[in-house]
Structure 1
């Protein structure tokens, strides 16, 4: 019994709150929300005069608001006036649907079904977008084709089954894309012609990087062997030099000394005398270094073979090892000195390894430079 009582109270509170909310929306001029809330509440209280007044007045004011905007667009010369009218009729149809769900509200208001208006103006809005796209296509520029693509895309959303618009959109996209051909890297003045580095892998990895990091919707990268690539831009890559220097040794010396027991004299059981001497050694540390560097120049050319961007990238390699020796008395050495002396020196890297490291660095820097250039513009 108590549960039923609490349920009645809850329903009463909910009804009162909803009614006040509908009144509040109506008072604020938010007529569409007022209609929706009042229609829902009338299903529970079909004889509520206050709710009936709210829904009738709110619906009438909402209709007047939308019709005012529709009439203004009908007088407009804007290409997009039909699209805006279509949007207004969609809002009106939402009002119709909100009321239709509730029979009492539907019978009271007798709302208008705007389905035919929506169909008419949706079609006209699609035609207007298509015409705008056609005009942009006639500009025969990359920018025109890009904007035409967006117009046809919008037109297709309004007329989704129109094959002609789909074909126009595909054509606009094909013409809007900037095709960039990255030519194979060329060696120029190269010192080491017999090193074992895979140039094809260099070209492939660079192309793959720029393709994977391409943020341009209308931008495509190709290699020089792509038979479908009609180049709007070409990227030329050239190694101008790779230098591997000679070993450089830098030596430093330091002297160490230590007092050690030279003689132990035992006078008696609890009396011992020690004689000390100082031993010395000279420690020589040789720091052997090798430096190498390479240069790669990247240039982007337009269709008229004019340079529109270029940059020179550097790759560096630094190798170092230390060799520690000593002369003198070994007893003067500390444990740390002995550890350094016994440490095996590293073998110097081969020219192939050095060049491979430099090439990998150059490939990464060049790929980033090309990507940054295009991503800033597309």
Structure 2
């Protein structure tokens, strides 16, 4: 019986706690008036006669309204250039409270006429746009790339606040192009005939990367031919050149192993009994490695000063491998893997252009990672 009484007590206590949470009472006691109103509204929508929720809503709404109006008055008196955004935020919160109450018939009994500040909100939004526009003009007047970026974001905020305010679209476009870094990417020059096709493919991968680059809107890459045709004056030039590369260095190793196995049937007696003995063989294992490697130099140069801004070298290596074997003696001395290796024949390696392409793959990965890292926050 005691256990049952304890269980009922805990259930009752849990219901009290849960009721306090769902009616917004706890939020009210913590001074979170907006949350308290929202919880009380939600409770009254499901339980219109809940007396506690009604009491919470009445108190929380009045306190929330007073709190937001106080913050609005304080913001208007401050020297913050962007004080109108704080004013706008609090008017939005007041209007949201009213909208929530207006969707709940039981709530309108408690708060018959929740106040909304439509004109005041519109005025504060307009004033906020004016402040951001003036800030953008000031940044743009500094005539440097970093300030132009700040101007762009200021005009972007104006667009969100007042889409058709003055000439904001034109100013935003002006700020963008003042902030952009134009990077001309020079093609890789590869004069060695056998590798031209692979070099072209490597160049195509780089061209595809720069054409799809979008991590930083203020950096635009141009292939050199496009920049020439469109008469683009670059801010920087990115050049790529192989310091050196070697394709098809061949190394062949031979390893000889003496093999023997005991207890192998090597014959039989006259009365047909097995004769056991030791079998031997000499296994020659051949390993061929064809190594190809290169070193790519990436240099980023300032167009006007001709000074190197960034330089990095990227190594790449690819090793093609083949192995086979031959033997002399009794094949029963070999295990299954060794015997299978003797049945393999030496195969032809890939052509030189394919080997060239393989060692450029790790170079490409390093290159694009470095370019992204360098320009993503440029």
- TM-score normalised per structure 1: 0.76
Q: Aligned pair in 2 of structure 1 residues 30, 202: CA closer, same or farther (>3 Å)?
A: closer
Q: Distance in 2 between matches of 1:366 and 1:209?
A: 10
Q: Aligned pair in 2 of structure 1 residues 292, 72: CA closer, same or farther (>3 Å)?
A: same
Q: Which residue is 2:91 aligned to?
A: 89
Deviation at 1:92, TM superposition (A): 3.0
Q: Aligned pair in 2 of structure 1 residues 129, 278: CA closer, same or farther (>3 Å)?
A: closer
Q: Report if the CA contact (8 A) 2:322-2:347 is conserved.
A: yes
- Select which of 143, 146, 149 maps to 1:143: 146
Q: Which residue is 2:76 aligned to?
A: 74
Q: Report if the CA contact (8 A) 1:179-1:231 is conserved.
A: yes
Deviation at 1:112, TM superposition (A): 4.4
Q: Report if the CA contact (8 A) 2:58-2:110 is conserved.
A: no
Deviation at 1:35, TM superposition (A): 6.1
Q: For residues 97-153 of structure 1, what are the alpha-carbon distances to aligned partners after superposition, in whole Å with 9 as ceiling and x for unaligned?
A: 455565994897655442221122211111111111111111122211111111111
Deviation at 1:317, TM superposition (A): 2.4
Q: Distance in 1 between matches of 2:111 and 2:274?
A: 124
Q: Report if the CA contact (8 A) 1:210-1:368 is conserved.
A: no
Q: Which residue is 1:6 aligned to?
A: none
Q: Which residue is 2:326 aligned to?
A: 325
Consecutive unaligned residues in structure 2, runs of 5 or more = 1-14
- Select which of 50, 64, 67 maps to 1:65: 67
- Aligned pair 1:178/2:176, yes or no? no
Question: Matched residue pairs, number?
Answer: 353
Deviation at 1:185, TM superposition (A): 0.7
Q: Aligned pair in 2 of structure 1 residues 40, 359: CA closer, same or farther (>3 Å)?
A: closer
Q: For residues 205-253 of structure 1, what are the alpha-carbon distances to aligned partners after superposition, in whole Å with 9 as ceiling and x for unaligned?
A: 1132245454223222221122454422221000121123553332222
Q: Distance in 2 between matches of 1:164 and 1:273?
A: 105
Q: Distance in 2 between matches of 1:256 and 1:55?
A: 93
Q: Report if the CA contact (8 A) 1:210-1:371 is conserved.
A: no
Task: Please state whether the residue corresponding to 1:226 is helix, strand or coil.
Answer: helix
Q: Distance in 2 between matches of 1:342 and 1:55?
A: 88
Q: Which residue is 1:8 aligned to?
A: none
Q: Which residue is 1:365 aligned to?
A: 366
After superposition, where does 1:1-378 map in structure 2 within 5 Å? 21=23, 28-32=30-34, 37=40, 60-98=62-100, 105=108, 112-162=115-165, 164-187=167-190, 192-212=192-212, 214-227=214-227, 228=230, 229-244=232-247, 246-257=249-260, 266=270, 280-303=280-303, 304-327=305-328, 329-330=329-330, 333-334=333-334, 336=336, 337-375=338-376, 377-378=377-378
Superposition RMSD in Å: 4.1
Q: Distance in 2 between matches of 1:96 and 1:273?
A: 104
Consecutive unaligned residues in structure 1, runs of 5 or more = 1-12
Deviation at 1:54, TM superposition (A): 7.0
Q: Aligned pair in 2 of structure 1 residues 350, 166: CA closer, same or farther (>3 Å)?
A: same
Deviation at 1:23, TM superposition (A): 6.3
Q: Distance in 1 between matches of 2:111 and 2:333?
A: 108
Q: Which residue is 1:3 aligned to?
A: none
Q: Report if the CA contact (8 A) 2:43-2:53 is conserved.
A: no
Q: Distance in 2 between matches of 1:362 and 1:241?
A: 13
Task: Please state whether the residue corresponding to 1:157 is helix, strand or coil.
Answer: helix
Task: Please state whether the residue corresponding to 1:172 is helix, strand or coil.
Answer: helix
Q: Distance in 1 between matches of 2:172 and 2:137?
A: 10
Q: Distance in 2 between matches of 1:278 and 1:99?
A: 98
Q: Distance in 2 between matches of 1:52 and 1:351?
A: 83
Q: Report if the CA contact (8 A) 2:237-2:302 is conserved.
A: yes
Q: Aligned pair in 2 of structure 1 residues 39, 311: CA closer, same or farther (>3 Å)?
A: closer
- Which one has a bigger Cα radius of gyration? 1
